[in-house]
Amino acid sequence: MNLELIAYLKQQSQFTPVPVIEEKLKLERDQVFTDVEAAIEQGYSIEFHPYLGVKLIDIPDKFLKHEIRDDLNTKNVGRKLKIFDQVTSTNETAWELIESEQELRDGTVVIAESQTRGRGRMGREWHSTPGAGLWLSVVLKCNVPPDKVTFLTAGAALAIANMLQQFIHLPAEIKWPNDVMIRGRKVCGILVEARSNQPNVFVLGIGMNVNQVRADFPESLRDTATSLRLERPGARGMNRVRVLRPLLFYLDRIYTQIRKKKWDRLAEAWSEFVHMGGKHVSLQQGGQELRGKVVRVHPADGITLKLESGEEKTCSAESVANVRDLPSDSVDAEENE
Ligand code: BTN
């Protein structure tokens, strides 16, 4: 493919006459047509007008290295890309690469169009509609103290929520411990894994629903899951590469802060997206249901609940599943009895 032609067309906001392209890129007329056709074959949306010439409308909704890298101003995240059509799980593929490639670069991103066995938290399955979302894992090689490892999940949630809010203008929130929500529905899940034979290496898995419509989700998720498309005005779909690039950029910025151990600053920024204080929730811990009012949430310390008994209890992110909102009067009513 003629990347020079693509780069040139990207700089033009209007149609470019074919003779101008011939001259600028020193191409024969036939070659211009052949190259435009080859680009269209690759998924580029290009309009051709007999008098006005050629105009690039959009890049392919496909993970092409040169498009992901285009203008990607990151230090670590995404400097190396491993792109697959189908994998069992991008987290699993990332671990295979870590085991097999001695010098796998910090920040390497493994991304796939589809996953056959996407992994979720607590051994659950992650539903990854082929071609409709961003299913990726970032290899992080850094020395994080054990009591700060939860900052990797929190930092990723912060980066994602920031990106969704600032770049896509959607009202993102973080639901502790690691879900990114829009209007009460989950749009993105995060799974950080470590292995004892690989000290100071982490795999940060991110699953972001981008272009699913309701019917793409299994029945059991239809009321609780959402996608960027479903939340955008007019339910407009998005080019996934255009979402991926800012995502990698925001992740890189936060990762730099993690490497510099800016824990307090990260916790403060994170807590601005966590609107759980004072809410009544139920959660599962060790097979037991706890219900209470949220007193405090912190990326490293976990969630502190005032239980129905009046006792305060703090639970760590790893020990907890199924955090659910309860109607706001459900605990107070009993507290006041
Ligand atoms: C959760 O909310 O339960 C976490 C879901 C994480 C899913 C992503 S998709 C890409 C990466 N590969 C996996 O197998 N899982 C993560």
pLDDT at 102: 79
If phi > 0 it is left, if psi is from -120 to 50 it is alpha, else beta; for residue 122 that is left
pLDDT at 39: 97
Among protein residues, the one whose CA lies closest to atom 2 of ligand 1: 189
Q: Which of 119, 134, 221, 322 to mutate to test the pocket of ligand 1 (most atoms within 8 A of CB)?
A: 119
Residues with CB under 6 A from ligand 1: 89-91, 115, 118-121, 124, 126, 128, 135-137, 179, 189-191, 205-207
User: 188 CA to middle of ligand 1, Å?
Assistant: 9
The whole-angstrom separation of Cα 85 and Cα 83 is: 7
The whole-angstrom separation of Cα 271 and Cα 301 is: 13
Find the helix or strand (DSSP H, E) in which 254 lies.
helix 240-259
pLDDT at 327: 83
Among protein residues, the one whose CA lies closest to atom 7 of ligand 1: 207
User: 274 CA to middle of ligand 1, Å?
Assistant: 21
User: 9 CA to middle of ligand 1, Å?
Assistant: 36
Q: Where in the chain is the domain with CATH 3.30.930.10?
A: 65-271
pLDDT at 178: 87
The whole-angstrom separation of Cα 196 and Cα 280 is: 37
Q: Where in the chain is the domain with CATH 1.10.10.10?
A: 3-58
The whole-angstrom separation of Cα 153 and Cα 66 is: 28
Cβ contacts of 257 within 8 Å, gap of 6 or more: 155, 265, 266
Token pair of 227 as six digits: 């996608």
DSSP state, residue 225: B
CATH 3.20.20.80 is held by the domain 65-271: no
State how beta strands 53-58 and 81-87 pair: unpaired
pLDDT at 335: 45
Q: Which of 84, 91, 244 to mutate to test the pocket of ligand 1 (most atoms within 8 A of CB)?
A: 91
The whole-angstrom separation of Cα 197 and Cα 144 is: 16
User: 275 CA to middle of ligand 1, Å?
Assistant: 23
Which atom of ligand 1 is found nearest the CA of 188? Answer: 2
Find the helix or strand (DSSP H, E) in which 218 lies.
none
pLDDT at 329: 65
Which atom of ligand 1 is found nearest the CA of 186? Answer: 2
pLDDT at 332: 52
CATH 2.30.30 is held by the domain 280-336: yes
The whole-angstrom separation of Cα 216 and Cα 46 is: 29
Question: How do residues 156-195 score in pLDDT, each as one tens digit?
Answer: 999 999 999 999 999 999 999 889 999 999 999 999 999 9
| Residues of the chain falling short of pLDDT 70 | 329-337
Q: Which of 108, 206, 217 to mutate to test the pocket of ligand 1 (most atoms within 8 A of CB)?
A: 206
Cβ contacts of 174 within 8 Å, gap of 6 or more: 154, 157, 158, 161, 180, 181, 270, 273, 274
Q: Which fold has domain 3-58?
A: Arc Repressor Mutant, subunit A (1.10.10)
Q: Where in the chain is the domain with CATH 2.30.30?
A: 280-336
pLDDT at 337: 39
Q: Which of 129, 191, 193, 210 to mutate to test the pocket of ligand 1 (most atoms within 8 A of CB)?
A: 191
